[in-house]
Structure formats: structure tokens, C-alpha cells
């Protein structure tokens, strides 16, 4: 009976629970993105659903949910916590986001929690500490953060593997994790952990891989670690650890394979006992402050694949110092050997040609190595990368280099290599980067380089003695896309139009050679080119119009050639142009105003040419960050910082008027201005003899000039609608010189009527001397030639907004209102002001002036109704 009863209870429990598991799975599914798990449907029992595994003993209970790489999106449902029989939860490599539900803490049977490679965020729930069966926890490559709850270390005592690689965990590594006495893997790399490495880990005898690279840990490696004879991998690189490597390290880790101490602040020498770690495959010591000799016994590390000692202060003052290199020939698995940026000096041992053919990368860049490149370097057929750059190596580049058929990158720049470039270089069909600049190489560039079908960068600059013409074949290298730099050599001949085949090239630098002839129009086909430097050559002819097709051009340097002709207007359409250097050529003509359109241009050098006319002031010409136009004898105008003479013939272009405002004193409005000006009589004679020569210059110096075009535009082509008045001497127009300026009045002289232009100059000059609050002052003069070739003279005066006094006294409408009637006090003010002005003209002006036509029509009112 009691047996029966308990069976019944068990059956009931199972059935309710099973409904619970199915419901939980459906709840899990419901939170995933649309269209997920379509195969989870009622036509199939849930224990047979994809990724679901049920218990054999408790048939309706889910023990494993494994949906690795199933493109799941959405969030994790808290209902997962109802799958209380779950032993494996493997949802790695999906697109899950949101937090890890705290309800997972109910999964007391869970052994494997694998959620790597998702987008999970939030913190590690404290409740996970209830998953007391957990042996494996992997949360790599998520966006989890916060601190690791120390309680995990106290309770999850079965954990053997913890992977938290590449998240944003912060705070210290909890010391409690050292309670996990079965721990084999602890991988906390690429987080933001701070503080010291807890000493306690050193007593976990099961520890095999301890990786905390790329955090912000400080202090030393705890001495206890050197008791972990079980360690196979120790990675602490990329922290702020210090201390030295113990001399007997090699006896402490008998089965170690990976030792990564890079980019810390370790000091002292590399202990020779390291040579005893016979299983070592990877030794990363780069980026520390290690000193002294490298132990010559390193070659005993027969399993060694990667040795990186770069960026330390390692030395070799005598032949012994580089013996370790020779010894490494014994490392038959060696793939990477990095020795760059140390203080190694002495000859590169010839024995390097005996390195294993497995060697793929060899760096010894930036040391003090001398001697020559071994003849038989071509033996190292496995090489992908060879960098001997920035040393003192001399001799020739051996012909055998052409046998390195796997070579992708060759760097020999900044040495003293001499002789010819071996034509065998052309056999390096995989070569993508060749840097041989800054040596003493000489002779022609081998045409065989044209066979480098995968070349991406070719730099032969600054050898000074590479001569002959540039082989056409080089220009056919359509893979060449980063840069081609042949600058500062002795290359001659022309630039063939085949240069246009470099359709993928970003930067072409041919500066400092003796290239001659024209710049070929074909260069326009280099449509992605951003930087073109042909400076310091013998190029002649004009600047090609076709450059306009090089829309990406940001820097164009044609300095120091023999280019002639005009600066083509089309340069103004290369919108990306930031720097334009055309100095030291024979360019002539005007500076194209369209250059003002180049809004990102900041560097402009047009100096030492034969340019003439006015330097534009608008657009970029208004900004003097880096501009030069010196050494062009016939340029004038421009912004004052250029210190050019003002333009002597009237400029053809408009210019900024901001400064003119400062010259304004009074305003003029109606046709009366015409009379006002023209009836001024100079009593004290302006002796033409005395002044006619000096005057124009004075006038020019005094007034900023304005062009015919500017007045033509500003008055809408001297339209009727802008006509303010007409008189014997000409007409007065309302004029807007610049969009942002207030209107001015322009008096255009009718030269047939008013006589010689000298009287215009005289008026300019006399009016210039008139400085009084209540007298109109000239803003500027314009003396030019109109499109019909006729002399054109005009005065620019400020506009009086309130018209003439006459208009106020006798309104046209004959209707007196408050708005068009002057008050008594205003009338009084005006009278006083007129007297004041007349007094000035008669008594205080040099020369004295008599106004012969004082009448209301000639008295103009300013904004504040002052006369």
C-alpha cells in the first residue's frame, strides 16, 4: 500500500514536472527572436525537440539543452530556471542578449554552463553560486561586466574550468577563487581586472592554464606560482606587473608549453634555465625591460615555435651576444622569431640560413646589426615576413632572395645596403610590401619588379643613386594600392602615360628625381589617388586639365619644377584638395578665383612663380594658416597679412568689405548726394601740379578698392530699381556689395559730362580729407574700365536710410502724420548739426570748403534722424 502510494506520488510529481519542463522550454522559445525553433512544436514530443535531451530515468525531465551556433537571438527566459534536472546548458555562438537570469541559480544539477560568444550583458548573478554542481563555466566573448561575486569561489567547489575571456569584468580577481581546489583552467584575459594576482592560486595543484592577459593587474607574480609544477600555460601579458624572472624558473614548470609575460615591466635577465622547459612552444617576453644577453642555450627548446623577445633592452656587445641566434637553428618547429627593438649589435650570423624551413616570420628590425645579408638567405623558403630594417647592414641584397617564394613582406629600409636591386626580386610573386628605402642602392630599377602581381606597397625612396627611367612595367602593377614611393633618387626620363594604369593607387611620390617632360594627361586615370607628389623634378609644360578627374586628391605637390602656363581653373573642382603646392615654377596669369571654392584647402603655396593680378581674399584666401604667394612680383592685394602692395590698376574682382565699415562716418540716400558732392567747391585750390601725381597713390592707399563687377552685381546691373537719383554729373544707385553687408550708395560719374578723371581723383582726395560727424564720407572709390572698354569712375558712400530733409518737410503725399513729421526738437537738432558741419567746412577743414548749394534736398538724415 505504501509502495503503491509512493509510486502514485512519484508519477504525479513527474507529470506535473514534465508539464513544467515543456512549458519552460516554450517560455524559453517565446523570448527568442521570431522564427526561432520552429521545429519545437506539439507534433513531436518535447524530449525529441532539437537540442533537447531528457533524462533516461526521469523521462520527462530535460537534462541537456544544447543549441550551439543556432542563430538564436533574443533574451534568456528566467523559465530556464525551472529545468531543474538540467545538467548541460550550451547556448554558445548565438546572438543572445540581455542578462543572465538569476533563476539559473535553481539549477543545482547544472554541470556545464556554456554561454560564450553571445551579446550577454549585465553582471554575473550571485545566484549562480547555488549551481553547486557546476564544473564548467564559459562566458567568453560577451559584454558582461561588474565584479565577480566572491561567493562563487566559496560555493562552486566543483569548478574545474572558468572562461571569462573578453568581457568587461572589473574589480579585483576574488581571492576566494583560490578555494576552487580542482581548478584546471582559469582564463580571465581581456577584462579590466585590477589589483594583484591572489597568492592563493599558487596552491591549486591541479592548475594547468592560468591566463589573465590584457587586464590591469599590478604587483608581482606571487612566489607561490612557482610551485605549480602542473602548469602548462601561464599568461600574464599585458598588465602592469613587475619583478624579475626567477633564475630557476626552468626547473619549476617541467611541462609548461606557453609562457607569456609580454608588455609588463619585468626587469633583469632572461634566465638560461628557461632552456630546460623542454615542452615550451611559445615564449612571449616582448615589451618588458629585460637586459643582458639572451642565453645561447635557448636552442635546446626543441618544441619552440614562437620566440618573441622584441622591445626590451637585450644586448650583444660581442660575438657571443648573438650566439643564441645560431643555437635557434636547432629549433626545428620555429615559426616566429621576433628580436626587434633591442640593443643587439654585431654581424647577423650567417647561420640564420640554417633556420628551420618552418620559419615564417623573422624580425630583427631596429637594432644595431651590421654585416651583410647572408648569401643563402634564399634557403629560408618558409619565410612570409623578413624584416631587417633600421640596422647598419651593408653589402648587397643577395640574388638568392628571389627564392623566398612565400615572402609577403620584405623590409630592409634604413640600412646601408648598396649595389643593384636584384632582378630576382621579381620572382617573389606573393610579395605585397617591399620597403627598401633609405639605403645606398644604385643603378636601374629592375623591370622585373613589374612581375610583382600582388604588390601593395613599393618603397624605394631615398637611395639617391637609383637611376635610369622608371620601368613602364611598374605602372602596370594594378595591385599597387597603398603607395609607390620612388622619391629622392636619380631617376630620369619622362613619366609615361601608363602611370594611369595605377588605378588603385592612393599615394604616388616621385619627388626629388630628374623626371622631365610633361605631366601626362593619363594620370587622370589614377582615380583613387589622394596624394600626388611630383615636386622637385624637371617637369615642364602646363598643369594638366585632366587632374580634375582625380576627385579624391587631397595633396598635390608640384613644387620646384619648370611648369608654365596658367593655374588651371579646374583645380577648383577638386573638392577634397587640402594642400596645393605649386611654388618654384614658371606659372603665370591670374590666381583662379575658383580656388576659393576649395573649402577644405588649408595649405597653399604659390610662391616664386610669375603670377599677376589680385590675390583673392574670399574663401580660403581669407585664412592664413599656411599660405604663401611671395616671390610673384606682379601680385597685389590679398589679405593684409600677405603684405602685398595694393592693386595699382583696378582689381577685376570683388573683395571683402568688412574693414570698410570702419571708414564710414555718414550716410547718403537720394539723388541729392550727387549734388552734394558735385557742388563742393574747393576754395583753397587743389593745385594739380602739386598733387596730381601724389593723389592717386594716396587715394589708393587710403581706400580699399572695389571692382566694377562688384558694383555691377551689387546694383543688379545698375538697374532702375536701385536708382536713387540722377543729376548732371551722373547717377546714384543703391548697392549691396556683399550679401551680409548693409547697403551703400554708389555715385557713378558720367565722364562725358564731368570731364577728366582727374577731377574724380580730386574729389576723392578732397572728400577723403573731410572728416566730420555730420558730413558724408567716402567709403571707397572705383576707377576701372567697364566691359565696353570705357573708363568707369564711381564713389561709394554709405546709404542714408531716412532720405533728405526736403522729403520730410514736403512729403510727396502731402499728408502730415505723426510718422512723417519732424518734431520741433528734431528740427532744432538738424539746424544745429547743419551749422556745425558748415562751420567745420569753412573754418576747420584743410583746405577750407564752401558748400554752394545748402538746401533741404542736400541735407540727408541718418537712422537717428541726425543730419
Ligand X SMILES: *[C@@H]1O[C@H](CO)[C@@H](O)[C@H](O)[C@H]1NC(C)=O
Catalytic residues: 853
> For residues 134-173, which are near ligand X according to CB under 6 A?
136, 141-143, 153-154, 166
Please answer whether residues 574 and 532 qualify as being in contact, where contact means their C-beta atoms are separated by less than 8 angstroms.
no
Q: How far apart are CA 429 and CA 712, in angstroms?
A: 66
Cβ 223 to ligand X, closest distance in Å?
4
- Residue pair 764/758 in contact (Cβ under 8 Å)? The answer is no
Query: What residues have CB less than 8 Å from 53, skipping those under 6 apart?
Result: 47, 62, 63, 64, 65, 66, 88
Distances (CA, A) of 484 to 135, 194, 219, 511: 57, 46, 47, 11
- Based on CB atoms, which residue is closest to ligand X, 623 or 641? 623
For ligand X, the closer of residues 366 and 535 by Cβ is 535
Residue from 6, 15, 16, 39 touching ligand X (CB under 6 A): that is: 39
The distance of closest approach from Cβ of residue 548 to ligand X in the complex, given in angstroms and rounded to an integer, is 9
Minimum CB distance to ligand X, residue 628 (Å): 12
d(CA 298, CA 329): 10
| Residue 63 cell numbers, joined | 537534462
489: Cβ–Cβ under 8 A, 6 or more apart, which residues?
Answer: 460, 461, 462, 463, 464, 465, 466, 467, 512, 513
For the bound state, the minimum distance from the C-beta of residue 461 to ligand X, rounded and expressed in Å, comes to 12
Q: Per-residue string for binding with ligand X, 481-520, x by CB under 6 A? A: ------------------------------x---------
**Which residues are CB-neighbours of 756 under 8 A, at least 6 positions away?**
none
The whole-angstrom separation of Cα 519 and Cα 97 is 58
Degrees to nearest 5, angle at CA 61 with 60 and 67: 115
**Residue 99 contacts ligand X per CB under 6 A:** no
Buried/exposed code over 428-443 (b: 16+ C-beta within 10 A; e: otherwise) = beebbbbbbbbbebbe
Task: Kindly state the smallest distance separating residue 526's Cβ from ligand X, in Å.
Answer: 17
Judged by beta carbon, residue 304 or residue 523, the one nearer ligand X is 523
CB of 127 or CB of 387, closer to ligand X: 127
Which residue's CB is nearer to ligand X, number 63 or number 421? Answer: 63
Q: Does residue 739 touch ligand X according to CB under 6 A? A: no
213 touching ligand X, by CB under 6 A: no
Residue 699 within binding range of ligand X, rule CB under 6 A: no
Site string for ligand X, 529-568 (x = CB under 6 A): ----x-xx------------------x-x-xx--------
Using the rule CB under 6 A, is 82 a contact of ligand X?
A: yes
**Contact call for residue 192 and ligand X (CB under 6 A):** yes
Q: Which is nearer to ligand X, 557 or 780 (CB)?
A: 557
Residues near 1 by beta carbon (within 8 Å), at least 6 away in sequence: none
The interface region with ligand X, picked from 9-17, 317-325, 528-536, 738-746 by CB under 6 A, is: 528-536
State in angstroms the smallest separation of the CB of 380 from ligand X.
31
Binds ligand X by CB under 6 A, chosen from 15, 41, 753, 820: 41
Q: How far apart are CA 245 and CA 256, in angstroms?
A: 15
Beta bridge partners of 54: 62
d(CA 701, CA 764) in angstroms, rounded, equals 12
Minimum CB separation of residue 412 from ligand X in Å reads 24
What's the CA gap between 541 and 516, in Å, rounded?
10
Of 13, 45, 206, 223, the residue at the interface with ligand X (CB under 6 A) is: 223
Q: Whats the size of the chain, residue-wise?
A: 867
Residue with cell 622619391: 487
Name which of 358, 361, 304, 360 is nearest 327 in CA terms.
304
CB of 111 to ligand X, least distance (A): 10
CB of 108 to ligand X, least distance (A): 11
4-23 residues near ligand X, rule: CB under 6 A: 20, 23
CB of 492 to ligand X, least distance (A): 17
Q: Of residues 51, 74, 149, 202, which one binds ligand X by CB under 6 A?
A: 202
Q: Does 238 bind ligand X (CB under 6 A)?
A: no
Decide whether 144 or 337 has the Cβ nearer to ligand X.
144
Question: H-helix or E-strand containing 369?
Answer: strand 368-370
Q: Is 27 in the site for ligand X (CB under 6 A)?
A: yes
Render the burial of 365-399: b for 16+ CB within 10 Å, e for the rest: bbbebbebbbeebbbbebbbbbbbbbbebbbbbbe
Q: Is 272 helix (H, G, I), strand (E, B) or coil?
A: helix
189 near ligand X, rule: CB under 6 A:
no
Minimum CB–partner distance for residue 722 and ligand X (Å): 23
Angle ∠(319,323,325) on CA atoms, nearest 5? 130
Residue numbers 104-133 binding ligand X by CB under 6 A: 105-106, 112, 114, 127, 130
Pick the stretch among 194-202, 271-279, 784-792, 833-841 that binds ligand X (CB under 6 A): 194-202
263 binds ligand X (CB under 6 A): no
Tell me which H or E stretch contains 836: helix 824-839
**Is residue 181 close enough to count as binding ligand X by CB under 6 A?**
no
Determine the Cα–Cα distance for residues 556 and 540; give it in Å rounded to an integer. 16
- Considering Cα of 434, then 440, then 445, then 446, what sign does the dihedral take? negative
For position 38 contacting ligand X by CB under 6 A, the verdict is yes
**171, 200, 522, 811: residue in contact with ligand X (rule CB under 6 A):** 200
CB 710, min distance to ligand X, A? 16
Name the residue nearer to ligand X (CB basis): 8 or 23: 23
Among 490, 528, 538, 594, binds ligand X (CB under 6 A): 594
Residue 35 touching ligand X (CB under 6 A): no
Rounded to a whole number of angstroms, the CA Rg of the chain reads 43
Range list of β-strands (E), 233-331: 233-235, 240-244, 258-260, 265-268, 282-284, 289-292, 306-308, 313-316
Contacting residues for 717 by C-beta, under 8 A, at least 6 apart:
none
Q: How many residues lie near ligand X (CB under 6 A)?
A: 61
624-643 positions binding ligand X, by CB under 6 A: 625
Residues 561-590 that bind ligand X (CB under 6 A): 572-573, 579, 581
43 binds ligand X (CB under 6 A): yes
175 lies in the site for ligand X, by CB under 6 A: yes
Residue 79 near ligand X by CB under 6 A: yes
Indicate whether 66 belongs to the interface with ligand X (CB under 6 A).
Answer: yes
Q: Phi then psi for 143, rounded to 5 degrees?
A: -120, 35
Q: How far is the CB of 276 from ligand X (least distance, A)?
A: 19
Per the rule left: phi > 0, alpha: psi between -120 and 50, beta: everything else, 399 is alpha
Among 44, 645, 683, 809, contact with ligand X (rule: CB under 6 A): 44
Residues that bind ligand X (CB under 6 A): 20, 23-24, 27, 38-39, 41, 43-44, 66, 68, 79, 81-82, 90, 92, 102-103, 105-106, 112, 114, 127, 130, 136, 141-143, 153-154, 166, 175-176, 178-179, 192, 194, 200, 202, 216, 218, 223-224, 227, 511, 533, 535-536, 555, 557, 559-560, 572-573, 579, 581, 594, 597, 602, 623, 625
Amino acid at each position: 500500500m505504501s509502495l503503491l502510494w509512493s509510486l502514485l506520488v512519484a508519477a504525479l510529481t513527474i507529470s506535473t514536472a514534465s508539464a513544467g519542463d515543456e512549458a519552460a522550454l516554450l517560455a524559453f522559445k517565446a523570448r527568442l527572436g521570431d522564427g526561432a525553433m520552429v521545429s519545437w512544436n506539439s507534433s513531436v514530443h518535447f524530449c525529441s525537440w532539437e537540442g533537447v535531451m531528457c533524462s533516461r530515468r526521469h523521462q520527462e525531465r530535460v537534462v541537456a539543452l544544447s543549441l550551439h551556433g543556432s542563430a538564436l537571438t533574443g533574451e534568456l527566459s528566467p523559465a530556464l530556471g525551472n529545468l531543474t534536472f538540467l545538467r548541460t546548458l550550451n547556448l554558445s555562438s548565438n546572438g543572445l542578449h540581455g542578462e543572465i537570469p538569476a533563476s539559473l541559480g535553481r539549477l543545482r544539477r547544472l554541470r556545464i554552463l556554456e554561454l560564450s560568444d553571445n551579446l550577454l550583458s549585465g553582471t554575473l548573478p550571485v545566484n549562480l553560486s547555488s549551481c553547486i554542481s557546476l564544473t564548467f563555466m564559459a562566458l567568453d566573448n560577451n559584454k558582461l561586466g561588474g565584479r565577480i561575486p566572491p561567493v562563487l569561489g566559496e560555493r562552486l567547489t566543483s569548478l574545474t574550468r572558468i572562461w571569462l575571456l573578453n568581457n568587461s569584468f572589473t574589480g579585483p580577481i576574488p581571492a576566494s577563487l583560490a578555494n576552487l581546489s580542482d581548478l584546471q583552467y582559469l582564463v580571465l584575459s581581456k577584462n579590466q581586472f585590477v589589483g594583484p594576482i591572489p597568492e592563493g592560486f599558487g596552491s591549486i595543484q591541479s592548475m594547468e592554464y592560468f591566463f589573465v592577459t590584457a587586464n590591469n593587474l599590478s604587483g608581482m607574480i606571487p612566489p607561490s606560482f612557482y610551485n605549480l609544477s602542473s602548469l602548462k600555460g601561464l599568461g600574464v601579458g599585458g598588465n602592469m606587473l613587475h619583478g624579475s624572472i626567477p633564475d630557476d624558473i626552468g626547473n619549476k614548470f617541467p611541462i609548461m608549453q606557453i609562457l607569456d609575460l609580454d608588455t609588463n615591466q619585468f626587469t633583469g635577465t632572461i634566465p638560461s634555465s628557461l632552456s630546460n622547459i623542454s615542452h615550451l612552444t611559445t615564449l612571449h617576453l616582448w615589451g618588458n625591460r629585460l637586459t643582458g644577453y639572451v642565453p645561447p642555450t635557448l636552442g635546446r627548446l626543441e618544441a619552440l615555435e614562437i620566440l618573441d623577445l622584441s622591445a626590451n633592452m637585450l644586448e650583444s656587445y660581442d660575438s657571443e651576444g648573438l650566439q643564441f641566434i645560431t643555437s635557434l637553428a636547432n629549433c626545428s618547429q620555429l615559426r616566429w622569431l621576433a628580436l626587434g627593438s633591442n640593443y643587439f649589435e654585431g654581424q647577423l650570423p650567417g647561420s640564420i640560413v640554417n633556420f628551420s624551413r618552418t620559419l615564417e616570420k623573422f624580425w630583427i628590425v631596429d637594432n644595431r646589426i651590421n654585416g651583410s645579408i647572408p648569401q643563402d638567405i634564399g634557403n629560408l623558403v618558409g619565410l612570409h615576413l623578413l624584416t631587417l630594417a633600421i640596422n647598419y647592414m651593408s653589402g648587397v641584397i643577395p640574388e638568392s632572395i628571389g627564392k623566398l617564394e612565400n615572402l609577403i613582406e620584405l623590409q630592409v629600409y634604413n640600412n646601408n645596403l648598396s649595389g643593384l636591386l636584384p632582378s630576382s626580386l621579381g620572382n617573389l610573386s606573393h610579395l605585397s610590401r617591399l620597403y627598401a628605402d633609405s639605403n645606398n642602392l644604385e643603378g636601374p630599377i629592375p623591370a622585373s619588379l613589374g612581375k610583382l602581381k600582388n604588390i601593395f606597397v613599393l618603397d624605394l625612396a631615398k637611395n639617391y643613386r637609383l637611376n635610369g627611367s622608371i620601368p613602364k612595367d611598374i605602372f602596370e602593377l594594378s595591385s599597387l594600392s597603398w603607395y609607390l614611393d620612388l622619391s629622392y633618387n636619380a631617376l630620369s626620363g619622362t613619366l609615361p602615360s601608363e602611370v594611369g594604369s595605377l588605378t588603385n593607387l592612393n599615394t604616388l611620390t616621385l619627388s626629388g628625381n630628374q623626371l622631365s617632360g610633361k605631366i601626362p594627361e593619363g594620370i587622370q586615370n589614377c582615380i583613387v589617388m589622394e596624394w600626388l607628389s611630383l615636386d622637385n623634378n624637371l617637369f615642364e609644360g602646363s598643369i594638366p586639365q585632366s587632374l580634375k578627374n582625380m576627385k579624391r586628391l587631397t595633396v598635390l605637390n608640384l613644387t620646384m619644377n619648370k611648369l608654365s602656363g596658367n593655374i588651371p581653373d579646374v583645380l577648383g573642382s577638386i573638392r577634397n584638395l587640402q594642400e596645393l603646392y605649386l611654388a618654384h615654377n614658371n606659372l603665370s596669369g591670374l590666381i583662379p578665383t575658383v580656388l576659393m571654392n576649395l573649402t577644405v584647402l588649408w595649405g597653399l603655396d604659390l610662391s616664386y612663380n610669375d603670377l599677376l593680378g589680385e590675390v583673392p581674399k574670399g574663401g580660403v584666401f581669407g585664412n592664413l594658416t599656411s599660405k604663401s604667394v611671395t616671390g610673384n612680383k606682379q601680385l597685389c592685394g590679398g589679405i593684409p597679412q600677405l603684405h602685398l602692395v595694393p592693386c595699382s590698376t583696378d582689381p577685376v574682382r570683388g573683395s571683402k568689405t568688412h574693414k570698410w565699415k570702419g571708414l564710414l562716418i555718414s550716410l547718403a540716400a537720394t539723388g541729392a548726394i550727387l549734388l552734394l558732392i558735385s557742388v563742393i567747391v574747393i576754395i583753397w585750390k587743389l593745385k594739380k601740379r602739386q598733387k596730381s601725381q601724389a593723389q592717386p597713390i594716396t587715394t589708393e592707399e587710403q581706400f580699399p578698392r572695389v571692382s566694377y563687377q562688384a558694383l555691377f552685381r551689387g546694383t543688379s546691373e545698375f538697374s532702375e530699381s536701385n536708382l536713387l537719383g540722377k543729376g548732371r554729373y551722373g547717377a546714384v544707385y543703391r548697392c549691396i556689395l556683399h550679401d551680409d553687408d548693409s547697403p551703400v550708395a554708389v555715385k557713378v560719374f558720367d565722364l562725358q559730362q564731368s570731364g577728366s578723371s582727374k577731377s574724380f581723383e580730386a574729389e576723392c582726395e578732397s572728400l577723403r580729407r573731410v572728416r566730420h560727424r555730420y558730413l558724408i564720407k567716402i567709403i571707397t572709390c572705383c576707377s576701372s574700365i567697364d566691359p565696353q572698354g570705357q573708363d568707369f569712375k564711381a564713389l561709394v558712400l554709405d546709404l542714408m536710410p531716412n532720405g533728405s530733409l526736403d522729403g520730410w518737410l514736403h512729403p510727396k503725399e502731402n499728408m502730415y502724420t505723426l510718422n512723417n513729421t519732424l518734431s520741433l526738437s528734431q528740427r532744432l537738432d538738424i539746424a544745429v548739426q547743419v551749422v556745425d558741419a558748415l562751420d567745420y567746412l569753412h573754418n576747420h577743414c584743410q583746405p577750407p570748403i564752401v558748400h554752394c548749394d545748402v538746401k533741404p534736398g542736400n541735407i540727408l538724415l541718418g537712422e537717428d534722424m541726425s543730419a
